[in-house]
């Protein structure tokens, strides 16, 4: 058995998030594994910018209430125990509900060495108008 202290929590960069978001990196697979697991903590109304993941992403909601939207789709409420799967290249955002914190685990894969694609392609911030449309 091995107990390991989690590394310092890092603030989600303002280029990629609206509002206060804090990220704990939990697992980084050693080659040939490329898995990446993090816990992402959103304060009320905080959310990601629009983005897509080249190899897709699975989210597992552990706390609070959140919102998720795929480009062109409706805003969907997410709660603890919900799984959200974003396909590779699917544009979307995720975040907390206006009046609740939300934490989800994020499972992604790093790209293979030499793969020229961006691991995550970041776009525009989610405006208040978009966020409040739910
Ligand atoms: Mn995502």
Question: How remote is the CA of residue 132 from the centroid of ligand 1, in Å?
Answer: 19
Give the global pTM: 0.93
Question: How remote is the CA of residue 97 from the centroid of ligand 1, in Å?
Answer: 16
Question: Binning pLDDT at 50, 70 and 90, where does residue 6 land?
Answer: confident
13-to-54, 70, 125 alpha-carbon distances in Å: 20, 21, 12
Question: How remote is the CA of residue 23 from the centroid of ligand 1, in Å?
Answer: 13
pLDDT in tens, 117-130: 999 999 999 999 99
- The domain made up of 10-131 has a fold known as Jelly Rolls (2.60.120)
pLDDT in tens, 29-48: 999 999 999 999 999 999 99
Q: Which residues, by Cβ under 5 Å, contact ligand 1, an ion? A: 57
């Amino acid at each position: 058995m091995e107990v390991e202290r989690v590394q310092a929590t890092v603030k989600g960069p303002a280029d990629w998030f609206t509002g206060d978001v804090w990220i704990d990196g939990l697992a980084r697979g050693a080659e040939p594994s490329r898995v990446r697991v993090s816990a992402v903590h959103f304060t009320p109304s905080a959310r990601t910018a629009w983005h897509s993941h080249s190899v897709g992403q699975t989210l597992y909601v552990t706390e609070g209430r959140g919102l998720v939207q795929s480009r062109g789709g409706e805003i969907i409420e997410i709660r603890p125990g919900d799984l959200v799967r974003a396909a590779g290249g699917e544009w979307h955002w995720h975040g907390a509900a206006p009046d609740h914190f939300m934490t989800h685990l994020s499972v992604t894969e790093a790209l293979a060495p030499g793969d020229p694609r961006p691991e995550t392609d970041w776009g525009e911030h989610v405006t208040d108008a978009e966020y409040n449309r739910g």
